[in-house]
Chain A
Amino acid sequence: EAGVAQSPRYKIIEKRQSVAFWCNPISGHATLYWYQQILGQGPKLLIQFQNNGVVDDSQLPKDRFSAERLKGVDSTLKIQPAKLEDSAVYLCASSSLTSGSDTQYFGPGTRLTVL
Chain B
Amino acid sequence: ILNVEQSPQSLHVQEGDSTNFTCSFPSSNFYALHWYRWETAKSPEALFVMTLNGDEKKKGRISATLNTKEGYSYLYIKGSQPEDSATYLCALPPETSGSRLTFGEGTQLTVNP
**Residues of A participating in the B interface, judged by any CB pair closer than 8 Å:** 3-4, 31, 33, 40-45, 48, 55-56, 91, 95, 97-109
Contact = CB atoms under 8 A, between A and B. Distances in A.
B49 interface: yes
B99 A99 contact: yes
B46 A105 contact: yes
A101 B105 contact: no
A91 B87 CA distance: 15
B98 A100 contact: yes
B44 interface: yes
B103 A43 contact: yes
Contacts of A55: 98
Contact of B43 (A95, A101, A109): A109
A93 B99 CA distance: 12
B105 A100 contact: no
Contacts of A97: 99
A89 B32 CA distance: 25
B44 A100 contact: no
B89 interface: yes
16 contacts: A42-B4, A43-B89, A43-B91, A43-B103, A45-B101, A48-B100, A95-B99, A100-B94, A100-B99, A101-B49, A102-B49, A103-B46, A104-B101, A106-B45, A108-B41, A108-B42
Contacts of B71: none
Contacts of A56: 98, 100
B93 to A, nearest CB: 3
A108 B94 CA distance: 24
A42 B43 contact: no
The 4 closest A-B pairs by CB, nearest first: A100-B93, A42-B103, A101-B32, A106-B44
A56 B94 CA distance: 12
A103 B103 CA distance: 14
B48 to A, nearest CB: 9
A40 B44 CA distance: 15
Contact of B105 (A42, A45, A91, A98): A42
Contacts of B49: 101-103
